[in-house]
Amino acid sequence: MSSPRHSIGSCPICGDGLCGIRILSGTDGQTYPLVICDECEATWTEPDLSRKPHFPDPENALSPVDGQALWGSHSHWADLAECVACGWLDRIDPALTSHGPEPSDDDPLSTPPATRTDPA
């Protein structure tokens, strides 16, 4: 799925983009979150859209944290459990939560994380 499951707001740069929480696997094997606009790729390392974003190279978008590609098999849009794990649950705008045909992760937190289906 190319659209975020959970977003913290609409993009202040392009207007219509969803600033979704994305999980990347670091080079050390640890995961970390970023906020990325799914339209213009404006990127934040903290869930605060009032801060100045990072704009990745349009042809080779890299993470400002460790230089890995933003899009690829090692990254995915965060599900609810991952939003909790990274401490950003309270930053989610529930009005922007995707309720599409993807496996739902809107269940209570005790439910196991949804099976990821998006390759990128």
Residues near other proteins, by CB under 8 A: 2-3, 7, 10, 13-18, 38-42, 52, 55, 58-61, 71, 95-101, 120
Dihedral sign for Cα 95, 97, 113, 20, please. Answer: negative
Q: How far apart are alpha carbons 87 and 91 in whole angstroms?
A: 9
Q: For the CB of residue 29, give the shortest distance to other proteins in the complex, in Å.
A: 23
The residues that bridge with 80 in the sheet, in sequence order, are none
What is the number of residues in the chain? 120
Q: For the CB of residue 55, give the shortest distance to other proteins in the complex, in Å.
A: 5
Q: For the CB of residue 84, give the shortest distance to other proteins in the complex, in Å.
A: 20
